[in-house]
């Protein structure tokens, strides 16, 4: 009777040792995929942190969440739309969640969220910094952009530029439909069938809708082509 008990005890001990080893010694596959990805969900933590700041957390709608690693720190960036104190949706606002301190900052002047530390834009990863430096230079030669040659990523606009503002949450199909609507409106005006041109705000909203499409989306080449055409319309309307 003592031998089976000893075997059971040894087996239980082996299980605890294996579990302890998993936490204190991280195999390469855990390091590669990120321990936090396996054991926790940083994007869920980011949502919870944002909700804690909102006046009306039950009304929150999230969009464009993405995880960012910059200078050895981890962040979750995205947009949130929520009702203000009067019960009206105020539009999407950018937010940045810092994983290490479990704290979020929203680009908001106490309209949808209580007062908190000043907002800072989402940091850039090393890859994004490289891509941004390339595209900031490319913005100076925007006239050379070709609709049939989509880049690896969207161009980056300065923080104070109208196109850097968060876009309303849409599907790829909805974003493309909005671009088509603006283009058809412009075509009708040029043909003399309409006296009204598309407004700058309508054009920029369509542009922001394209910018919100993930470059990995299969619709990105079409979105890029629409973006180039819309930018030309924007210049022509402003001329």
Contact (CB, 8 A) for 19 and 47? no
Tens digit of each residue's pLDDT (9 = 90 or more) over 42-92: 999 999 999 999 999 999 999 888 888 888 889 999 989 999 989 999 888
Contact (CB, 8 A) for 166 and 93? yes
Domain extents for the chain? 2-36, 40-106, 126-238
Tokens found for residue 131: 């891509």
Tokens found for residue 233: 């319309």
**pTM above the 0.85 mark?**
no
- Rounded Cα–Cα distance for residues 228 and 177 (Å): 15
How many percent of the chain have pLDDT more than 70? 74
Residue 21 has pLDDT above 50, yes or no: no
Tens digit of each residue's pLDDT (9 = 90 or more) over 153-189: 888 777 677 888 888 889 999 999 999 999 999 999 9
Query: Nearest to residue 46, comparing CAs of 23, 65, 27?
Result: 65
Please, where are the H alpha helices in the chain? Answer: 2-24, 28-33, 35-39, 42-53, 126-139, 172-190, 200-211, 220-238
Looking at 8-12, 147-151, 196-200, which range is the least confident one?
Answer: 8-12
Tokens found for residue 55: 């006046």
């Amino acid at each position: 009777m003592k031998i089976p008990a000893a075997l059971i005890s040894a087996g239980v001990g082996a299980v605890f040792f294996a579990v302890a080893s998993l936490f204190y010694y991280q195999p390469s596959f855990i390091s590669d995929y990120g321990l936090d990805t396996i054991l926790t969900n940083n994007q869920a933590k980011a949502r919870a942190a944002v909700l804690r700041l909102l006046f009306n957390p039950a009304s929150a709608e999230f969009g464009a969440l993405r995880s960012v690693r910059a200078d050895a720190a981890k962040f979750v960036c995205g947009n949130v739309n929520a009702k203000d104190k009067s019960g009206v949706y105020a539009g999407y606002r950018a937010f940045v969640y810092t994983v290490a301190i479990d704290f979020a900052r929203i680009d908001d002047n106490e309209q949808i969220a209580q007062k908190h530390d000043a907002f800072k834009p989402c940091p850039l990863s090393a890859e994004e910094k490289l891509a941004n430096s390339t595209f900031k230079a490319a913005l100076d030669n925007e006239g050379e952009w070709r609709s049939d040659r989509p880049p690896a990523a969207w161009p980056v606009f300065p923080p104070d530029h109208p196109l850097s503002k968060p876009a309303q949450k849409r599907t790829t199909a909805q974003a493309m439909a909005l671009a088509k609507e603006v283009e058809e409106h412009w075509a009708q005006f040029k043909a003399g069938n309409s006296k009204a041109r598309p407004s700058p705000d309508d054009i920029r909203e369509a542009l922001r809708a394209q910018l919100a499409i993930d470059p990995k989306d299969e619709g990105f080449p079409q979105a890029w082509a629409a973006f180039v055409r819309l930018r030309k319309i924007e210049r022509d309307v402003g001329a």
